Structure 1
Amino acid sequence: MGTHVIKMPDIGEGIAEVELSQWHVKVGDLVVEDQVLADVMTDKAMVDIPSPVHGKVIALGGQPGEVMAVGSVLISIEVEGAGNLKESAAPAPVKEAPIAPKTEATVESKPVAAAAPRPAAVCQGPMVAREADERPLASPAVRKHALDLGIQLRLVRGTGPAGRVLHEDLEAYLAQGQSNASAPAAAAYAQRHDEEQIPVIGMRRKIAQRMQDATQRAAHFSYVEEIDVTAIEELRAHLNEKHGASRGKLTLLPFLVRALVVALRDFPQMNARYDDEAQVITRLGAVHVGVATQSDVGLMVPVVRHAEARSLWDSAAEISRLANAARNGKASRDELSGSTITLTSLGALGGIVSTPVLNLPEVAIVGVNKIVERPMVVKGQVVIRKMMNLSSSFDHRVVDGMDAALFIQAIRGLLEQPATLFVE
């Protein structure tokens, strides 16, 4: 028997150290080639580390949350034969799950839906005995799913590798729980005294660091304006009725992207990045719009590149493609970097007002609130109009308040008179 040692790989981009986010194996586990051993977190992405060999895990090189240098020992595997006498670096990562850039809202194409709470006491499906403080193996998506369903993960038997809890295990637990519906209804109101400590590591740590960095370094100020979107919504409905079957349905986002592009022609200082260390502002001609997107693995901002050269349907298709890639953990680093201005929306849950956090080093972020019908006075008459607020934030070190107000007013004018979006 021999030992195959895998070192923390060099993921590129000059990264000298990465954070060990999660182990998918433990000492004593048998692993096969290409099986995912661990997740590591860089500044931009979650990267899976696969096994290059078959064998048995004999040692782990760190604990989740630990920052490890590139080249340090990640894991040791016992293999048949002499093994790899020279410690080898891990093979190229096979999958990237992108990290949430520093923003705080979601893309309109996937509003966050609140799951109906289910009392954990009612769900008495296939169970496994674990200590109260034992943390079962499960992906972040499965943990969130369990939280939404009111299930305590430590009670669920995992059928994945090393007892990993899968989505299917949650469904089996719930299905079994339905057959035990005779449990007293009063159990749902029983007192609870349990606690759960959740380490802030991996993606959540990166989000926390970036949000804190953004709020500490930039001088945020927000500006909110009310917009009558009745006309733009009528145009959108007309275009969807006429061309939806052949070109795809349009949401409001492509129109907002178009409004940004047109307004930025007169306000180039908003389409900029500020290097506060070098004290240099870079204004860009290309408009690369970041669209904040919520996914099971965290918050991220895929980038619609060269929005200035895209039609409505081209923008819509790219937004949809990027949102799906982000939600499925398949967006590349290039698709998650390089934005010049960010658009953030909570969709139907957009509320009345929000205060979005800048996506540094950008200097502007435009936030979209929900559309509501309200009585408005138009030419002396009370009429029902579709109204929406834009809640936007700016870096006051670079953007003056008057310029920010004029910029949002320009967007308002374009959306309220949608023909102007296409007049050159």
Structure 2
Amino acid sequence: MRETVPVSAGEFAALMARFGPFPSDDPAFPIGIAVSGGADSLCLALLMRQWRRAVQAFVVDHGLRPESAAEARMTIGRLEEMGVPALLLTLTGLDGRRAIQSGARAARYAALDSACKARGILDLALGHHEDDQIETLTLRRAHGSTAHGMAGMARSRETPELRYLRPLLGISSARLRITLRDAGCDWIEDPSNRNRRFERVRIRQDLTPGDRVAARGDLARYGAKRDGTQSRLGALAGEVLMDPLGFALLGEKLPEPDLLARLWQIVSGAAFPPSPRLLAALHRAPRPATLGGALLARSGRLGRTWILMREPAAITARTPVAPGLLWDRRFEMAGSEAGEIAPFAAMAAAHGEIGPLGREASDFRSYPYPFRILAGLPALRIKGRLVAVPCLEDPGAATGTAAGAGISMRFSPPLTLTDRSEWGDDPATCRPGA
């Protein structure tokens, strides 16, 4: 049976080829690998190292169990034995009480994103495999997911600065473990993976062989459908005028619901879009509406017909100034290089915070934007006093303003209107469930 055959170097190279081309195999262009220490991600590291020399592993210690630090060090040792350079990322602030798995996941991805960005890494490989994909489908079906959600995890997912690769989604966990045993490698078993208090664990333990066969067919079908929708959205995105201040101008007929959902997330900064049912109703009969942290209104003098903007009343984020800050999941802060910080910037770093402009938007009438757009923009305050609205500043402004201090903010949401993410299987390169 195929389930007893290790994953060969040639088979893995073919799986990676579908994501290419890649930069030359040079230390200046490493590909990242997220490694937990379990069998799946450790096997991914082994296969990646056989395929390419220029790799960089990241081991995340969540700090949720007393033994996690020792396990992380053990994993780094195993990676070094494979010839894979590894870096430890230690998380703090996870309390281990509520929403443990979702909270740990969000913190883990934030740390991985930052680590890759700091090292110029553009691709990060993840160890999700076929069993994970089947569990994801089953979980989403149980929660009434849309057809898009039923496509499961993307084989590749692009964000503005990083591409996530999942080359093992067609490989079972059993084959990955056999591959490690064949190479004489050991791994760590996380006890939480057997704890039935977690819904995913219950699904994993209760799935029958028949359930898995049916899930493979569903994933192939829904994945192909989502890839087709993705291509169609690329053509429709030209109907949208996206402004650098974070709002979108739309025509008399709103974009189809799938594109509208993505647009709503971009403008609101929300992790999930509003209900598909509500968006479909808006598409059929456009009207002013406030949903999920964004509001749809008539665009007036700005042109087109409709404007989709952040709902100012929904913004609560007030965050200390820091270079690289992503405020309200929409605006990224940049600051002066160390050693070149002006006195004003030093004061902003020590005492400043970024929050919504709010009611003080009425003092910015010289700008050709509605009050509600201005009210939702990030504003710099020092010791409670409004100093500047960085994304409105003139680049030639004098010292004492955000621009003069080298502080700037740009609209940088975690999603883009279109990307090259992939879900379905390519019949020319692989078979569903192979």
TM-score (norm 2): 0.21
Q: Give the structure-1-normalised TM-score.
A: 0.21
Query: Higher helix share goes to which structure?
Result: 2
Q: Which structure: larger Rg?
A: 1
Q: Report which structure shows greater RCO (CA 8 Å, sep ≥6).
A: 1
